[in-house]
Structure 1
Amino acid sequence: MDALQFLATKDSKRQSVYALVGDEDFLKRHARERIISVVLGEEDPSFAVSVYAGDKLDFSTARNELETLPFLAPCRVVIVENADKFVTDNRPALEAYCAKPSRVGVLILDVKTFPETTKLAKALPDAAKIGCKALPIYKLSAWCVEWAKTAHKKKLAAGAADLLVELVGTSMGLLDQEIGKLANAVGSKPGIAAEDVDALVGRSKAADVFRIMDAVGEGRPGEALSILQELFGEGEDPMAVIGPLTAQLRKLATVGRLHLVEKMALGPAMDAANVPKWDKARISFDKQLKHLGGRRLLKLPDWLVEINHGLKGGNALPERVQVERLVVTLARPLVPAKA
């Protein structure tokens, strides 16, 4: 079951064993809280919840905990964090436990992976396997709008959500924190506008890449290179910079292909490439398109393959230099073709 679906389900049946599967800590945290609420109701969890590190826990200790009815609570909850090693080391014992679980205990396994082909996974019903994978970036804006409404009682404008994701990045936990801050900052106002986000939300490191692309769109290689060198000077890894940079370049390449080759209108081409729809983003993107021009837009896929290959060891130049060269190539003014 998807974590968001699990969190939205009002009536959840208690399971003996849960697996929280994935890499999004925000979803795991909220799923864990929801399970504890389902299991304990209004009782104080401090009397009934035990948390263990998966790389240091033996199965007998977990089993004894699960069989011990807590004081002043109807059930014992045992949470095993980073439980991948625990699952691997104790798979037969866990399979046997799932076949005959404790009547007074609930086991929560926090794992990165939980292959459906294993006997253990097959032993658990779908309702007990909670998928906590990070949302793809194209779904985050819609999630922010819904989360602002349900968790913070505010209407987050679509453009404001797009800008929030651009500034903060893809961490759902950080997005939740910023939505909470915005909800408090706007006070009695029923909604959060893009102007509020622009004024109140700080820029993440990933958002600095958009500053680089703004400089590219203005045809200012010196400014683009200066921002990039500032990031490197602060200790930012070139691989952390190239991720959001290539994501933006892929959008530019997609729009270039759709508009120049397939003759799609520019607006629909931007929609197809998931370019944010708020005005500032579209204006900046349009500048980047015009600055790069048709020739460079159509070369972008090859350049992306080249930089990806180079950063994986295919180029002897330092990673930092490779990224700098790409940015300068993008930002320098277009030289007109000779007649």
Structure 2
Amino acid sequence: MDALEFLEQKKPANQPIYVLTGEEDFLRRAVRESLERQLLGDADREFAVSVYAGDTAQFSTIKGELDTLPFLSPRRIVVVELADPFVSEFRPQLERLVEKPSKGVLILEVKSWPSNTRLYKMVPSEATIQCKAPPMQRLPAWCVHRAAVHGKKLTQKGAEMLVELIGASLGILDQELSKLAAYVGDRAAINDEDVDHLVGRSRAAETFKIFDAIGAGRATEALTILDRLLKQGEEPMLILGAFSWQLRKIAQAGRLAKQGVPLSQALLEAGFREFALRSCEQFVRHLGWRRLERLFDWLLDADLGIKGNTPVSERLQLERLVVRLAQPREAAGRLTASR
């Protein structure tokens, strides 16, 4: 079952064992908190929940906890975090536990949950919860739902802008929604102007400084600004989100210009304001057609890299993107051809 689908359920049936699989930490925490509320009600979590590390937990200890009568709660919950080694070592015992459940509830948090195993097939699908980042097209709706959790109504346009600025990190999106809820105060709704003012302008301003340096071919200056942002504690995914917001509009303007639309008009249609046209035109001309056509690929490379799909550090992923953009045209052509 998809984690978002699980969280939207009203009164799901209780299961003796749950498996939370996937690498989206925010979703995993949200599902676990939801399960604890569902299973324990108003009972004190301190008396009802035990947590163990998967690389040191022993099955006999876990089974003993599960069989222990609850104290001041309807049931006990035992959580095994990073449980992949625990599952591998005690798979037969876990299979028997599924066949003959204990009184308590076991929650296994794993990175992988292969579908070709007997244990996978024994655990009900409604108890196997996939905690993976949703596709981009589902994120605005998720933001609207989370804004309601913070007591605010988020407009569709505001949700779309927030996703464009931040990207697919659910934890960071939720942090920004919390800030926005505080920012609008007693107002019931958060609109796109609020998102632009609180989230967009500060990051867009720094991004424009980097892009101004890139457009002028000043790679060292662009990297220096990036270094300052990172040293100030800015999240790499947030920086990439601001890059993406600008570069997608640049790519759209490039496509329009290639179809014969005057560049200044193409930039306006892509969403840039008049005060930014001069620097944006310089940026587009600096890139040239070849790099304009590669922007989406490069953004995807950086996004996957920052999310951990390569051993390259987050800083280096961003620096590589800046260098690709800042290279003079001839050097960039050689770099692109070599890849």
TM-score, normalised with respect to structure 2:
0.73
Q: 1:279 to 1:323 in 2, by over 3 A?
A: closer
One-letter code aligned to 2:172: L
Q: Give 1:61's aligned residue.
A: 61
- Paired with 2:82 and 2:92, the residues of 1 have a C-alpha distance of 19
- Paired with 2:28 and 2:74, the residues of 1 have a C-alpha distance of 23
- Paired with 1:208 and 1:90, the residues of 2 have a C-alpha distance of 54
- Paired with 2:258 and 2:152, the residues of 1 have a C-alpha distance of 41
Q: 2:170 aligns with which of 159, 169, 172?
A: 172
Q: Give 2:82's aligned residue.
A: 82
One-letter code aligned to 1:65: E
CA contact (8 A) 2:81 2:109 kept: yes
- Paired with 2:122 and 2:72, the residues of 1 have a C-alpha distance of 31
Q: Give 2:217's aligned residue.
A: 221
- Paired with 2:122 and 2:44, the residues of 1 have a C-alpha distance of 30
* Residues 1:131 and 2:130 are matched in the alignment: yes
CA contact (8 A) 2:3 2:27 kept: yes
SS of the equivalent of 1:43 reads: coil
Percent sequence identity over matched residues? 42
Summarize deviations over 1:192-215 as a string: whole Å, max 9, x none.
12332233348898x788436753
- Paired with 1:279 and 1:303, the residues of 2 have a C-alpha distance of 17
SS of the equivalent of 1:47 reads: helix
- Paired with 1:139 and 1:23, the residues of 2 have a C-alpha distance of 18
Query: Which structure 2 residues correspond to residues 253-272 of structure 1 after superposition, within 5 A?
Result: 256=254, 260=258
One-letter code aligned to 2:182: N
Q: Give 2:288's aligned residue.
A: 296
Query: Which structure 2 residues correspond to residues 28-39 of structure 1 after superposition, within 5 A?
Result: 28-39=28-39
Q: 1:287 to 1:147 in 2, by over 3 A?
A: farther
State how many pairs are aligned: 311
CA contact (8 A) 1:168 1:203 kept: no
* Residues 1:189 and 2:184 are matched in the alignment: no
RMSD, matched Cα: 4.5
- Paired with 2:94 and 2:47, the residues of 1 have a C-alpha distance of 25
Unaligned runs of 5+ in 1: 271-276, 333-339
Q: Give 1:335's aligned residue.
A: none
- Paired with 1:164 and 1:108, the residues of 2 have a C-alpha distance of 33
Q: 1:195 to 1:250 in 2, by over 3 A?
A: closer
SS of the equivalent of 2:51 reads: strand
Q: Give 2:158's aligned residue.
A: 160
Q: Say which is worse superposed, 56-65 or 298-307, in terms of deviation.
A: 298-307
Once the two structures are TM-superposed, the CA of residue 135 in structure 1 deviates from its matched residue by 2.4
Once the two structures are TM-superposed, the CA of residue 189 in structure 1 deviates from its matched residue by 1.1
Q: Give 2:327's aligned residue.
A: 329
CA contact (8 A) 1:221 1:331 kept: no
Once the two structures are TM-superposed, the CA of residue 118 in structure 1 deviates from its matched residue by 1.4
Q: 1:154 to 1:304 in 2, by over 3 A?
A: closer
- Paired with 1:123 and 1:70, the residues of 2 have a C-alpha distance of 26
One-letter code aligned to 2:66: L
Q: 1:295 to 1:147 in 2, by over 3 A?
A: closer
SS of the equivalent of 2:14 reads: coil
Q: 1:305 to 1:38 in 2, by over 3 A?
A: closer
Summarize deviations over 1:193-251 as a string: whole Å, max 9, x none.
2332233348898x78843675379x4433x7524323235667xxx689665897677
Summarize deviations over 1:147-177 as a string: whole Å, max 9, x none.
213x123221233223333444432122212
- Paired with 2:247 and 2:111, the residues of 1 have a C-alpha distance of 30
SS of the equivalent of 1:221 reads: coil
Q: Give 2:334's aligned residue.
A: none
CA contact (8 A) 2:211 2:283 kept: no
Summarize deviations over 1:2-42 as a string: whole Å, max 9, x none.
11111111011000110111111211111112111222223
Once the two structures are TM-superposed, the CA of residue 83 in structure 1 deviates from its matched residue by 1.1
Q: Say which is worse superposed, 321-330 or 154-163, in terms of deviation.
A: 321-330
Q: 1:278 to 1:246 in 2, by over 3 A?
A: closer
Once the two structures are TM-superposed, the CA of residue 320 in structure 1 deviates from its matched residue by 8.5
Q: 1:286 to 1:62 in 2, by over 3 A?
A: farther
Unaligned runs of 5+ in 2: 331-339
Query: Which structure 2 residues correspond to residues 102-121 of structure 1 after superposition, within 5 A?
Result: 102=102, 104-121=103-120
One-letter code aligned to 1:292: V
CA contact (8 A) 1:54 1:83 kept: yes
Q: 1:22 to 1:278 in 2, by over 3 A?
A: farther
Q: Say which is worse superposed, 180-189 or 65-74, in terms of deviation.
A: 180-189
